[in-house]
Amino acid sequence: MSRFPKISETFILYEILELGKLGLDIEIFPLVHHREPVKHSEADALAQHTHYYPLLSWAVLTAQFFWLRRRPTAYLGAWWGAIRGNLRSPKFLSRALAVVPLAALFARQMQTLGVTHVHAHWATHPALAAYIIRQLTGLSYSFTAHSHDIQADRTMLGEKIRHSRFVITISEHNRNFIGALYGPTAVDKTRVVHCGIDPEVFQPRQDRKPNATFTIACVARLEEIKGHTYLIEACAYLKDRGIPFRCLLIGDGLTRPQINAQIASLKLENHVSLLGSQPQHQVRELLAGADVVVLPSITHKGRKEGIPVSLMEALAMELPAVSTAGSAIPELIEDGVAGLIVPERDARALAEALIRIYTQPEQSLQFGKAGREKVLREFNLHRNARVLNELFLHNPDSKNEVPAQHFPAIAVTAEQKYDS
């Protein structure tokens, strides 16, 4: 992964932990050592299997000489491929040139560890690292495509798909997108495996009743794609309609100053609270006290949502949900079944949906029950990890079994910064 552990990507952490319970030996090779003030304690269990290497280090340098001596054609070909494949994007080219030396080190370390397969989370630079490792070692690889990593940037995507053993994507929306770009062969190689959550961890509150003050929860990073500005505008409508409410924004990010300014300008300080990033147990407590979960995501600079895990968690707790169309979210929330879907960037429609949840508590309870049933059927971490396990241990092309003793994964995030 490019960053690990990252608090907003718990789905990767819990997927790795669940695969470990199924017997896979997993080693983690992040492109970046991600440090955050808040983290999930479960990540500590993976510390001894996580291999952090700064880009500017002796280990990285000696790995270059190793491959230059051992497999000069493959090593120089990896450099040329990264340059050629990223020439159209200076931003991605600079990052790709940082991936090559790290991938060379990972390749050497994986050979030492007896790795038999590499899996990358995210189709951008993490998948590029897996692609380079295959060039140097011959190890098979796969990768998980989430959403914006195939929508906003498709650098070398066709080549990464072609050389992979298989591709995982988290939605039918994404699989159709890949098919439209690369045809039936790419579709045949792509499997839909939803991200999942543990429904035993996210249990509904007993005897759920509406709060005296209608409580709205939004669990998301503070960034443009999450659409917080439209939620705050919707809150202004709720205030004007005289509805007693509070809105809890759980998460942090770059747009926090703008959100604070908008809250102040609309005089919503007594209604909207910015709670920052929270560990999972605290998120559960906050959701348990909420009446509805909201995620007003938008399409921003070509980026779209996947299927947010925060919505799965809320649905598992039998919270009704309000979210937007235009991405894969309706695969989780069917409008009028587990919640309400509104158009993107429409604060008034968002407010009307919230008012409907507030004024129709019996229907909201039905939404909640339907949402949990949906998660149990299709977004169950235990079930979906078993599907992944079978894919890792079974080659869909040759029908040959892969030894289970060592099946490490390289799990990666999209945006990269490099340690020195």
- CATH code (residue 298): 3.40.50.2000
Domain span holding position 344: 214-378
Q: Per DSSP, what are the bridge partners of residue 247? A: 216, 272
173 and 287 housed in the same domain: no
pTM above 0.75? yes
> Which residue bears the tokens 């993976």?
46
Find, among 311, 320, 310, 398, the residue nearest to 356 by Cα. 320
For residues 361 and 250, membership in a common domain is answered with: yes
The one-letter code for the residue type at 56 is L
pLDDT at 395: 57
Q: Considering the domain boundaries, does residue 125 fall inside one?
A: yes
Q: Does residue 119 share a domain with residue 220?
A: no
Same-domain status, 263 and 364: yes
Does some domain include residue 266?
yes
Looking at the fold, whether 153 and 283 belong to one and the same domain comes out as no
Residue 40 lies in a domain: yes
Give the Cα separation of 165 and 396 in Å (integer). 8
SS3 83: helix
CA 319 – CA 200 distance, rounded (Å): 15
Question: Same domain, yes or no, for 144 and 222?
Answer: no
Residue 74 and residue 64 in contact, taking contact as beta carbons nearer than 8 Å:
no
71 Cβ contact list (under 8 Å, min separation 6): 136
Q: Would you state the pLDDT for residue 301?
A: 83
Residue 132, token pair as written in the block: 């380079």
Looking at residue 414, its pLDDT comes to 30
Q: What CA–CA distance (Å, rounded) separates 156 from 237?
A: 45
- Give residues with Cβ within 8 angstroms of 105, minimum separation 6: 53, 59, 60, 63
Residue 254: how many CA atoms within 13 Å on its side-chain side? Answer: 4
Within a domain: 85: yes
β strands within 73-165, DSSP E: 117-121, 140-145
Q: Which amino acid belongs to residue 337?
A: V
> Does 13 fall in a domain?
yes
Whether residue 321 contacts residue 295, with contact meaning beta carbons closer than 8 Å, is answered with yes
Tokens matching residue 64: 């270059």
Task: Based on the fold, state whether residues 245 and 289 are members of the same structural domain.
Answer: yes
Residue located via tokens 């919707």: 234
pLDDT in tens, the chain (420 residues): 444 455 457 788 889 999 999 988 899 999 887 565 545 566 777 888 888 889 999 999 999 999 999 999 999 999 999 999 888 877 788 889 999 999 999 999 999 998 999 999 999 999 999 999 999 999 999 999 998 889 867 889 999 999 999 999 999 999 999 999 999 999 999 999 999 999 999 999 887 788 899 999 999 999 999 999 999 999 999 999 999 999 999 999 999 999 999 999 999 999 999 999 998 899 999 999 999 999 999 998 878 888 999 999 999 999 999 999 978 999 999 999 999 999 999 999 999 999 999 999 999 999 999 999 999 999 999 999 999 999 998 755 444 444 444 445 443 333 333 332
For residues 155 and 257, state if they share a domain: no
Total of domains in the chain: 2
Secondary structure element (H or E) that encloses residue 189, with its range: helix 172-189
Give the C-alpha separation, 111 to 115, whole Å: 6
Q: Are 252 and 304 part of one and the same domain?
A: yes
Are both 363 and 384 inside the same structural domain? no
- CA–CA distance, 256 with 228 (Å, rounded to integer): 10
CA distance 53 to 105: 9
Burial of residue 200, with CB atoms counted within 10 A of its CB: 0-12 exposed, 13-18 middle, 19 or more buried: exposed
- Whether 186 and 266 map to the same domain: the answer is no
Judge whether 133 lies within some domain. Answer: yes
**Does residue 229 share a domain with residue 360?**
yes
Cα–Cα distance measured from residue 248 to residue 271, given in angstroms and rounded to the nearest whole number = 9
- Give the Cα separation of 80 and 86 in Å (integer): 10
Q: Do strands 245-250 and 214-219 pair parallel, antiparallel, or not at all (unpaired)?
A: parallel
Task: Tell me if 320 is assigned to some domain.
Answer: yes
Residue 245 is assigned to a structural domain of this protein = yes
**Rounded to an integer, what distance in angstroms lies between the CA atom of residue 320 and that of residue 287?**
11
- In whole angstroms, how large is the CA radius of gyration of the chain? 22
Residue position matching structure tokens 């158009």: 343
What does the alpha-carbon distance between residue 178 and residue 232 come to, in Å, rounded to a whole number? 35
Contact 413, 149 (CB under 8 A): no
